[in-house]
Amino acid sequence: MNLEMATGVESLWGLVVLGYILGSIPFGYLLVRATGGGDIRFKGSGNIGATNVARTSGWAVGVATLILDAAKGFLAVWLTGHFSGGIIRFMMYAGLAAILGHMFPAWLRFEGGKGVATTAGVFLAICWSAVAASVFLFLLVALFWRYVSLASISAAAALPLLVYLLYAPGHAPPTAVSACTLLAAVAVIAKHRGNIERLLAGTEPRFEMGRKES
């Protein structure tokens, strides 16, 4: 509490707002526009995330989107940690705000991406070992079944348990860490509702790198 008082509660919540602003930068939308691909929201699935960008505009733009979407999540947490003196509660709040900013960006009428890359960036700054384990699970599912959505859902579902086990091995993480991790996972899975329906119906498209859709 002393550290929070010294930093200033208003400043701490300002960092959370900054997290949302950073998260809401629609890199997929901007990169596709910048490379002459038009509006990504009217291509493929209409999602601004890296998977749809790669499908419709090529792997290079997709990878750039992936990196930048992850970087904004990482930066939101890192900046909050730097300017708050490492108050983990507000680092988690800022990270969650960045994820929600990506999902619901004010600049695109609150219609954004599914938050997978941004969530990875956030937790890379919080617990890199949990992210490494989630990425391994993601790749395993994606390579075996070739459904990026299923891989994303699997990784998101596993993240709360992985963070709980790996954040401070032998000790339970702070409540804010566990609660925000669970909220982030639920938000990511909820954003995949349409994918879940298509997976159950057997109509979800498999991912093929390098294929462009008109």
68-107: pLDDT as tens digits? 999 999 999 999 999 999 999 999 999 999 999 999 999 9
Q: Region 27-43: what's the mean pLDDT?
A: 96
Q: Quote the Cα angle for 204-209-212, to 5°.
A: 85
> Domain limits at 105?
2-201
- Tally of domains in the chain: 1
Q: Flag whether pLDDT at 24 surpasses 50.
A: yes
pTM for this model (two decimals): 0.93
Whether 96 maps to a domain, the answer reads: yes
Write the DSSP symbol of residue 157.
H
Residue 28 domain flag: yes
CA distance 114 to 116: 6
DSSP for residue 168: S
Residue type, 29: Y
Is 14 part of a structural domain of the chain? Answer: yes
Taking a C-beta distance cutoff of 8 angstroms, is the pair 163, 177 a contact?
yes
Q: Residue 116 belongs to what H/E stretch?
A: helix 116-126
Q: Distance between CA atoms of 194 and 192, rounded to whole angstroms?
A: 6
Q: Is residue 211 part of a domain?
A: no
Q: Are 148 and 62 in contact (CB under 8 A)?
A: no
Tell me the C-alpha distance between 68 and 178, whole Å.
25
Name the CA dihedral angle for 29, 30, 32, 33, rounded to a multiple of 10 degrees. 110
Residue 169 lies in a domain: yes
What is the separation, in whole angstroms, between the first and last Cα of the chain?
A: 55
Give the residue, 3 or 11, on which the prediction is more confident. Answer: 11
208 falls within a domain: no
Residue 8 near residue 14, CB atoms below 8 Å: no
**206 domain-assigned:** no
Res 210 pLDDT > 50: no
The pLDDT tens digits of the residues spanning 115-164 come to: 999 999 999 999 999 999 999 999 999 999 999 999 999 999 999 999 99
207 in a structural domain: no
Mean of all residue pLDDT scores within the chain: 94
Predicted local distance difference test score (pLDDT) of residue 214: 39
